């Protein structure tokens, strides 16, 4: 029996041309044994009739928020509670904008605010509408708030354009819904991970940075995702592909990384700080490129300390479990234990960066896990294998 059997699924349809594909999705869901309720915006009813969806779902279609009959029993709240998952397919640019604003001006948007169930979005629109900066800004907001974005795919569009904006196929959306009910160690958990180096501007063309590749943080993001977590990866500049189903927030400086972390950590269960954050930054980044003057005069750059991201996060989000990394060249465990206490975090993953075969840019790493309970030394492992071990260990930390 499939994972969707007897699950309560709301398929919400907004007013896009891809609405016709949602009929097939509802049929596939019913075939999988799911119970399906369909919600339609008034725009959606211009593209496909409620009668079709009623026949396929076996239930009357919900269309109106201000419906005295349905609302006699607080219909919209009941429906929000009934759902195990809510998928908006297609999600129009207009619905994305309304959700990003937190609006509740029709049944669909009100349900999204009222439900505790995961909300999946299947955007579908003309490629220019999709790449428009307003839509992309709304996408960022929605992904950060925990909406799961499925697609869009690239290809030929109904309007004749070619590009990104096609709704995923019904079978792919069925798979995305099915994945919601996978039993992972981090099912339903939100994990925020920082990765890579930071760049601290000296002038418009130069910066201070370090050798961090980001490999460890990206591997952790993939491992957390594999355990069912919703993962936000806040990354400095790297050359690594973002793991699928992981939301990337790209930053450059330590200050940007802190701001992004503070925003992403609302409601997060875990914060894993694997980024190599520059401890210092130039006190003032020059507005114009610094010129070479006299060879006899060196260049002095005054540096000031960057904020301590991990310590700030631990202070600001006491209900989140915090995990930090300590890259040390000497007295590894002692320094890690000091860091554990000073930053008031639950685990420090300590690695010896004086050994060139492990750490920063290599594909392998050997670390020690330092907690209040003691020290656990792990063997030399590839970063993906190590990431899986670390996620296992992190899941065993007692929540607080
Ligand atoms: C023929 C036609 C096709 C449309 N297709 C889309 C679409 O694929 N995606 C989209 O975001 N908007 C599309 N629109 C625009 C939406 O229908 C419009 O923004 C509407 O206000 C959406 O309402 P709703 O989001 O409340 O359903 C289309 C409009 C027309 C006339």
Residue 109 sits in the same domain as residue 229: no
Residue pLDDT, tens place only, 231-279: 999 999 999 999 888 999 999 999 999 999 999 999 999 999 999 999 9
Residue 346, domain extent: 190-396
Ligand 1 binding pocket mutation candidate from 92, 93, 104, 157 (most atoms within 8 A of CB) = 92
CA distance 162 to 73: 46
Residue pLDDT, tens place only, 368-378: 999 999 999 99
Please say if the pLDDT value at position 400 is more than 80: no
Domain end call among 122, 157, 179? 179
Long-range contacts of 340-344 (CB under 8 A, 24+ apart): 340/370, 340/371, 340/372, 342/311, 343/308, 343/310, 343/311, 343/314, 344/311, 344/314, 344/315
Residue 54 sits in the same domain as residue 102: yes
More confident residue, 383 or 316: 316
Residue pLDDT, tens place only, 44-85: 999 999 999 999 999 999 999 877 776 655 588 889 999 999
Q: What mean pLDDT is predicted for residues 374-387?
A: 87
**Cα–ligand 1 centroid distance for 61 (angstroms):** 20
Residue pLDDT, tens place only, 340-355: 999 999 999 998 888 7
User: CATH code at 110?
Assistant: 3.40.50.1950
Residue 149 sits in the same domain as residue 203: no
Q: Give the number of the atom of ligand 1 that is nearest the alpha carbon of residue 18.
A: 8
**Cα–ligand 1 centroid distance for 15 (angstroms):** 5
Q: Give residue 360's pLDDT.
A: 62
Residue 196 sits in the same domain as residue 232: yes
């992403």: which residue's tokens? 264
Q: What mean pLDDT is predicted for residues 187-191?
A: 93
Residue pLDDT, tens place only, 106-164: 999 999 999 888 899 999 999 999 999 999 999 988 887 778 899 999 988 888 888 88
Which residues have any ligand 1 atom within 6 Å of their CB? 14-18, 41, 43-44, 92-95, 124-125, 129
Contact assessment for residue 127 and residue 159, using Cβ atoms and an 8 Å cutoff: no
Domain end call among 144, 179, 214? 179
CA distance 388 to 109: 37
Do the domain assignments include residue 184? no
Number of domains the chain is built from: 2
Residue nearest to atom 5 of ligand 1 (CA): 16
Active site residues: 159
Q: Give the number of the atom of ligand 1 that is nearest the alpha carbon of residue 44.
A: 27
**Whole-prediction pTM value?**
0.58
Q: Give residue 73's pLDDT.
A: 58
By percentage, how much of the chain surpasses pLDDT 90? 73
**Cα–ligand 1 centroid distance for 28 (angstroms):** 24
């993953």: which residue's tokens? 349
Residue 154 sits in the same domain as residue 297: no
Residue pLDDT, tens place only, 238-249: 999 998 889 999
Q: Give residue 355's pLDDT.
A: 77
Q: What b/e readout covers 214-230, taking b as 16+ CB neighbours within 10 angstroms?
A: bbbbbbbbbbbbbbbbb
CA distance 209 to 222: 25
Residue nearest to atom 11 of ligand 1 (CA): 92
Token readout for 284 is 């003032």
Q: Spell out the residues 6+ positions from residue 35 whose beta carbon is closer than 8 angstroms to its own.
A: 6, 7, 8, 9
């Amino acid at each position: 029996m499939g994972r969707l059997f007897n699950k309560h699924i709301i398929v919400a349809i907004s007013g896009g041309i891809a609405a016709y594909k949602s009929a097939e999705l509802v049929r596939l869901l019913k075939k999988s044994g799911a119970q399906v309720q369909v919600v339609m915006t008034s725009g959606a009813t211009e593209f496909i009739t409620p009668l079709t969806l009623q026949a396929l779902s076996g239930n009357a279609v919900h269309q109106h928020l201000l419906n005295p009959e349905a609302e006699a029993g607080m219909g919209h709240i009941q429906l929000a509670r009934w759902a195990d998952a809510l998928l908006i397919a297609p999600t129009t640019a207009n619905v994305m904008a309304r959700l990003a604003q937190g609006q509740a001006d029709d049944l669909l948007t009100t349900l999204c605010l009222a439900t505790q169930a995961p909300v999946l979005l299947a955007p579908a629109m003309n490629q220019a509408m999709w790449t428009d900066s307003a839509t992309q800004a709304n996408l960022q907001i929605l992904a950060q708030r925990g909406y799961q974005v499925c697609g869009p795919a690239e290809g030929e569009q109904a309007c004749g354009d070619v590009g990104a904006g096609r709704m995923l196929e019904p079978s792919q959306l069925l798979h995305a819904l099915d994945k919601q009910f996978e039993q992972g160690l981090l099912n339903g958990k939100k994990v925020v991970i920082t990765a890579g180096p930071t760049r601290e501007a000296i002038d418009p063309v130069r910066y201070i940075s370090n050798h961090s590749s980001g490999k460890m943080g990206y591997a952790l993001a993939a491992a957390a995702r594999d355990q069912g977590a919703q993962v936000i990866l806040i990354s400095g500049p790297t050359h690594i592909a973002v793991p699928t189903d992981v939301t990337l927030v790209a930053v450059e400086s330590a200050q940007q990384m802190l701001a992004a972390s503070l925003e992403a950590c609302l409601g997060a269960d875990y914060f894993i700080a694997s980024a190599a954050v520059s401890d210092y930054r130039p006190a003032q980044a020059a507005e114009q490129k610094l010129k070479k003057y006299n060879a006899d005069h060196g260049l002095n750059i005054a540096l000031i300390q960057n904020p301590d991201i991990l310590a700030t996060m631990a202070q600001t989000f006491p209900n989140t479990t915090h995990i930090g990394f300590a890259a040390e060249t000497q007295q590894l465990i002692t320094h890690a234990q000091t860091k554990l206490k000073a930053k008031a975090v639950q685990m420090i993953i300590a690695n010896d960066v004086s050994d060139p075969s492990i750490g920063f840019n290599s594909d392998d790493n050997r670390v020690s896990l330092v907690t209040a309970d003691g020290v656990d030394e792990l063997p030399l492992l590839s970063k993906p294998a190590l990431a899986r071990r670390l996620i296992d260990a992190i899941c065993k930390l007692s929540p607080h």
